[in-house]
Chains A and B, each alone.
Chain A
Amino acid sequence: MKCENCQTISHSQSTYCGKCGKSLVKEVSLDYNKSIQNILIFFFILLGYIATINFIDFENDYINTLLIDVLFAAIIFVFYFIDFKTINKLLSLKGLKKFLLIKILVGAPLFAIIVSYLAGFLNQSIFDKSQLRYYEQFIDSPAPITLSIISIALIPAIFEEIAFRGILFNHLTKVSRLKSTILISSILFTILHLSLLSALWIFPIGLLFGYFRAKYRSLWYGILGHFMYNGSIVIIEIITFK
């Protein structure tokens, strides 16, 4: 082991240089402080964005909805470019498990049907209000089905997965164990949806996508599952729309 300060060669088990006393091991505390800082910066920017769009009384039309989506995508793009090498590895198509993709392709719509029924029931019986219909915002648009699929299914699937299972997950793995990382990323994914009732299904979804990300080191399972789940919710809304 060579000291960077005085170039003295030390025993391989040395922690300090015997000559100058300089530490020969990397200081861990500086690393985790930086990682925690990165987690908090990313989290508070997302929270600021969500709080702003909830606080400002936008007219609930498709143009505003799409603009909000573009803003979200732009924020995630900035963070993606900061860490693009690591995120790109997670977006590689090599080695994807086809059978698992098929399972997700079938399982996500089934789960969406259950959630849609459950959400409607809970909203009516507990909160005495009708369920929020995302599709309604796009009825006056030139292409309601296409735009609602893009805004509700495609953009969140890609960018929320890059945000939570990509950027945030990567920073979290530097300061916590893998199981804890899956749990924290799911908790943050859930709370940033700012919906108490939705937490019942968003949290397990977050856990599952986090598990896929950790086990297969790919974002594609989460992206596909997210897209199929959100897309199915839109289709159910279109079918049941009066």
Chain B
Amino acid sequence: MAIITSPQIENEIEQKKDETDIVDLTICYYCKSTGLNEEDKFCPNCRFPQNGTQREMKRFLVNVANKKQLLIDKKKSVKKARIILFILAGLNFVFGIVFGIVLNFNIQILIGSILGALIYFGLGMWSRKNPFPAILSGFLIYVVFNVITAIANPATIVQGIIWKVLIISGFVYGYKGVKDSEALEVELASIKEAKDLSPTHEV
């Protein structure tokens, strides 16, 4: 799917605002679906208020534009969650090298951290192809790692609490963003796609 940028959306609204002069009520002004019932208020494909007021039409256009902007925001939150996965991979790797080799040779810390780094890195890569399961797994693994650390040393619960909250929020917004953007993409795609809704084309 092509990336939609904010200026593009604004231009689209501006164009549509000046063009809402509907001549043929059987063709949807917005999605160009055909075979619409002239008495219907809304287009059955995109919900454009063909027989509505100018205000309602503009509200529809703004609503669609908002959804496009929301899609951009949701995709950004998915990207942020992916970045968090790579950051955690990097931090685990550095932690393993510093505390497992440089400061004091500790094979358990080294293996644990390198394994953690590999898991997060793998999830980060997986999130490019399949973001929802990768981000959800990353979130739950992060929580479990913190619980394991807290069981061993309860004082760690409050250590770096702000970072922990930020990371968890990033993950939550990330996996929710994947699902929300999937739903928005389906909705926006159906709005764009023109259909023949005449009774003779009944499936």
Binding site for B on A (CB under 8 A): 10-21, 24, 28-29, 32-33, 36, 39, 43, 47, 51, 54-55, 126-127, 175-177, 180-181, 183-184, 187-188, 191-192, 194, 196, 199
Contacts and interface: CB of A to CB of B under 8 A. Distances in A.
B139 to A, nearest CB: 9
B143 interface: yes
B107 A126 contact: yes
A139 to B, nearest CB: 26
A188 B108 contact: no
A19 B140 contact: no
A19 B41 contact: yes
14 contacts: A11-B44, A11-B197, A11-B201, A16-B42, A16-B44, A17-B44, A18-B36, A20-B41, A21-B47, A33-B176, A39-B136, A47-B147, A175-B132, A187-B140
Interface in B172-189: 175-176, 179-180, 183, 186
Contact of B42 (A19, A181, A194, A196): A19
A180 B143 CA distance: 20
Nearest to B197: A11
B42 A18 contact: yes
B179 A19 contact: no
Contact of A28 (B137, B183, B202): B183
Interface residues of B, number: 43
B140 A191 contact: yes
Contacts of B43: 16, 18
Nearest to A48: B147
B44 A14 contact: yes
B137 A187 contact: yes
For B37, B133, B183, B201, which residue has the most chain A Cβ atoms within 10 angstroms?
Answer: B133
B137 A47 contact: no
Contacts, number: 106
A13 B141 contact: no
B96 interface: no
Interface string B137-149: 1001101100110
B137 to A, nearest CB: 5
B107 to A, nearest CB: 6
Given A14-B45, A21-B42, A191 B203 contact: no
Nearest to A54: B151
Contact of B37 (A15, A18, A33, A126): A18
